[in-house]
Amino acid sequence: MSAKILMTRQWPTAVEEYLRSRYDVTFNTSNVPMTESELREATRNFDVLCTSTSDQITTHVLSHPESKVQLICNYGVGYEHIDVNACKQRNIMVTNTPDVLTDATAELAIMLMLMVARRASENERNFRTTFSTDWRPTHLLGTQVTGKTLGLIGFGRIAKAVAMVASNGLRMKVLYHSRRRADAETETSLHVEYCQDIDTLLAASDFVSLHCPGGKETEKLINAERLQTMKRSAFLINTARGSVIDEASLINALHNQIIAGAGLDVYCNEPTVNKQLFDVPNVVLLPHIGSATTETRHAMGMRAVSNLEAWLEGREILDRLT
Ligand code: DGY
């Protein structure tokens, strides 16, 4: 089958070259995100949309009467930016790219935990203005991470990878909460304890790391009340989706020392970020870079390609969401 394929953003060069040499592909050479109306218009001309988290694939985009789209190959594991129900209704298949970004994202969660606890950003900002190490016994002291308690909310692949590093590498006690309890073998091998309710986990943890999907079900899961439930000395880490935290309540909690700090890689209204966050000293802010390593971004591209090729060749699709 000769399908017409649209790449909505630039992908790693080797992946684009692979696609260019084999398929009828149109590339977004400007690399500027397409607007909702551009995406809707594109559905008239393409069988396959290769999307990413910076595209909003809404019912409006999908509902063009002349739409040809049959497959949406998402570059990334999260897919709350795609109206999956609207795709199902229109028999549009949707795929994502799990597994390949697990370790990179887990690395980032651990990094944020260490950065915020050891006040890495504050220390570096200070260093860059004073040009002096200015060693003093009491200067910008952080919190030790080793041996503390980490609470994971959500227990998918990334949370499990974080648990492995935290318990084996940092000798942390690891608690987790998820809708479904893991089997006993998984709990034993990862040295994790299940908490039946989120509030027990929040009250017991020195670090809380979020690993649940975005979307309506988890929207503002961490709200003002839950932030109050955390220890005043605790840190909140988010590499999942910005919508999971009520950002205004978090900003208030950070300013008023309701919690000790936060490490964030994701935000409520990306690509826009609430400017008030930049005025908070005890927060580490990264620009959604969980999967941003050369190795991982290439692997994500090739995983999307393998889904595309399975669809083109009528084979079973590994990462089928609809
Ligand atoms: C993902 O894969 O979901 C990352 O957050 C990038 O979209």
Domains, the chain, ranges and CATH? 4-100+294-312 (3.40.50.720), 102-285 (3.40.50.720)
Q: Is 64 a catalytic residue?
A: no
Q: Is 241 a catalytic residue?
A: yes
Pick the atom of ligand 1 nearest to 78's CA. 3
Indicate if ligand 1 lies below 6 Å from the C-beta of 214: no
Measured in Å, residue 125 CA sits from the centre of ligand 1 at 28
Q: Is 288 a catalytic residue?
A: yes
* Terminal-residue alpha carbon distance, the chain: 21
Indicate if ligand 1 lies below 6 Å from the C-beta of 77: yes
**Which of 196, 208, 227 is CA-nearest to residue 150?**
208
* Rounded-to-integer distance, Cα 115 and Cα 144, Å: 11
Indicate if ligand 1 lies below 6 Å from the C-beta of 253: no
Q: Which of 81, 177, 211, 288 is catalytic?
A: 288
Q: How many residues make up the chain in this entry?
A: 322
**Which of 45, 12, 8 is CA-nearest to residue 29?**
8
Indicate if ligand 1 lies below 6 Å from the C-beta of 101: yes
For the stretch 204-235, pLDDT in tens is: 999 999 999 999 999 999 999 999 999 999 99
Measured in Å, residue 76 CA sits from the centre of ligand 1 at 4
Distance of CA 285 to CAs 79, 112, 143, 233, 298, Å?
23, 9, 18, 19, 25
Q: Which of 41, 187, 219, 270 is catalytic?
A: 270
Per-residue pLDDT of the chain (322 residues; tens, 9 = 90+): 589 999 999 999 999 999 999 999 999 999 999 999 999 999 999 999 999 999 999 999 999 999 999 999 999 999 999 999 999 999 999 999 999 999 999 999 999 999 999 999 999 999 999 999 999 999 999 999 999 999 999 999 999 999 999 999 999 999 999 999 999 999 999 999 999 999 999 999 999 999 999 999 999 999 999 999 999 999 999 999 999 999 999 999 999 999 999 999 999 999 999 999 999 999 999 999 999 999 999 999 999 999 999 999 999 999 999 9
- Quick one: pLDDT at residue 1? 58
Neighbour-count burial of 257, counting CB atoms closer than 10 A to its CB (0-12 exposed, 13-18 middle, 19+ buried): exposed
